[in-house]
Amino acid sequence: MIKLKQAVIVEGRYDKIKLSNLLDALILTTDGFGIFKDKEKQTFLRRLAREQGLIILTDSDSAGFLIRNFLQSALPPEQITHVYIPDLFGKEKRKRAPGKEGKLGVEGVSEQVLLEAFARAGVTADRSDAAPAQRLTTADLFALGLSGKPDSAAKRRALLQKLALPERLSASALLRVLNGYVTKEQFETALKEIGL
């Protein structure tokens, strides 16, 4: 695994799944063109970029560049790093036919190609084969009453508000953010402040 300080933003969940096998980092999705209208996510990305830096990795097709250009215009250039995959033609395994332009997206390129793309971009990475630090699990969220109980949604909203995170984060998305972005101290302080 490559441990990154920066958060990484990709287009969709299959891209995120692919990268999660390579990176120990907070990986977020734009949900395709959904980022254009999602003001809350835009605000969150600005905060991430300011506090820890943001890596933008989109497909090399026109849609990917449209999303990349939108993000680039919304974020200060000194806070973002662009990682580009080469134009490789083919189709992803899960698809019946190639995309409109016939190019492979992030999910379709090999891990080696992705590693080379990060290296070309000069992304600072610590190669680590050590096990990741202990992380919160879904059982932890349940034990805290943040999932699986009648008042869990209200408790999650209160926690998200204390942590200045988007209110639409599901329990599973909250878990990813807590494990990749929020320190243990911040989490514990926020829990105390909301009475958990």
How confident is the model over 139-181, as pLDDT tens digits? 988 999 998 999 998 998 899 888 877 676 677 777 877 876 6
How confident is the model over 88-131, as pLDDT tens digits? 888 888 888 888 888 999 999 999 999 888 888 888 555 444 44
- Give the CB-side neighbour count of residue 106, counting CA atoms within 13 A: 29
**pLDDT for position 169:** 67
Residue with more model confidence, 168 or 66? 66
Report if pTM > 0.85.
no
For the cut 90, the answer to whether the pLDDT of residue 74 exceeds it is yes
User: Which residue, chain included where needed, has tokens 């997206």?
Assistant: 105
**pLDDT for position 13:** 94
* Range from 9-13, 46-50, 164-168 carrying the lowest mean pLDDT: 164-168
**pLDDT for position 69:** 92
**pLDDT for position 11:** 96
Closest CA to 107 of 189, 13, 6, 8: 13
- Give the CB-side neighbour count of residue 96, counting CA atoms within 13 A: 0
- Report the 10 Å Cβ neighbour count for 123: 21
Distance CA 46, CA 62 (A): 24
Length of the chain: 196
- Report the 10 Å Cβ neighbour count for 88: 14
Helix, strand, coil percent content, the chain, rounded in steps of 5: 45, 15, 40
**pLDDT for position 166:** 66
Mean pLDDT calculated for residue range 25-47: 94
Greatest alpha-carbon span in the chain: 54
- Orientation angle between helical segments 184-193 and 152-162, nearest 10 degrees: 120
Structure tokens at 154: 């209200």
Mean pLDDT calculated for residue range 64-82: 93
Domain 2-127 has CATH 2.60.40.10: no
Domain ranges of the chain: 2-127, 138-193
**pLDDT for position 130:** 41
Which DSSP string corresponds to 70-104? Answer: HHHHHS-GGGEEEEE----BS--TT-SS--TT-B-
Closest CA to 194 of 151, 153, 168, 155: 155
pLDDT band at 45 (very low <50, low <70, confident <90, very high): very high
**pLDDT for position 2:** 84
Percentage above 90 pLDDT, the chain:
48
